[in-house]
Amino acid sequence: MTKKVPCIGCGALVAEGDGPAHRYIGASPGCWALYGEVLAREYTDPRYGAAHQLTVDAYAAQHPGTPSPQAIQSVTVHLVGLYIVFELGRTPQQARKTIQRAVQHKKDFVWLDPPESLGAMTILDIHAARAHSEHTTRVREWAMSVWRAWEPHHPMIRRWA
């Protein structure tokens, strides 16, 4: 049986390993692999496509990494995406357009100290979904939990949006 270790980003118990990980998203290789499997599901079956932007936003915001220009930009734009969906009631596709505009001001972004908890749900919850409706529901709940976790920084995120 594969040994489980907490992901360095979200804390989910994932397979220990030394596989690939992202260079600035703070995820353990086992967590990164699960994320890849979820993305493959979303890319290969159009029924999952509606959840894709929230999946990307939630994962990136839940795995902030360490301060670097790339990590700062990543966390910022993905939190802006969550803000657009959950505070303004827009679609994830509409959020993508705002993200594209926000990144033009990346020189104004600063590192936000991550909250102690980055949300109650993780990629494990999404990976375990067996039907597209369950997947979509879980992604939305996960993304909301990540958005709520960053609540101390909501005023700054609103300004960036």
SS (H, E, C) 38-84: HHHHHHHCHHHHHHHHHHHHHHHHHCCCCCCHHHHHHHHHHHHHHHH
Number of neighbouring beta carbons within 10 Å of residue 35: 26
What's the token pair of residue 79? 């939190």
pLDDT in tens, 122-150: 999 999 999 999 999 999 999 999 999 99
Mean pLDDT over 14-23 rounds to 88
Mean pLDDT over 13-34 rounds to 92
pLDDT in tens, 65-91: 999 999 999 999 999 999 999 999 999
- Residue 2: its pLDDT value, please? 82
Taking all residues of the chain, what is their mean pLDDT, rounded to a whole number?
A: 94
- Residue 52: its pLDDT value, please? 95
Q: Return d(Cα 43, Cα 52) in angstroms, integer.
A: 8
pLDDT in tens, 103-116: 888 899 999 999 99
Selected residue with higher pLDDT from 96 and 77: 77
Task: Give percent of the chain above pLDDT 90.
Answer: 83
Compute CA distances 134 → 84, 140, 145, whole Å: 23, 10, 16
Residues whose CB is less than 8 angstroms from the CB of residue 2 and which lie 6 or more positions away in sequence, other chains included: 15, 16, 17
Q: Model's pTM, two decimal places?
A: 0.95
> What single DSSP character describes residue 10?
T
- Residue 41: its pLDDT value, please? 96
DSSP letter string over 96-130? HHHHHHHGGGGGG----PPPS---S--HHHHHT--
- Residue 1: its pLDDT value, please? 65
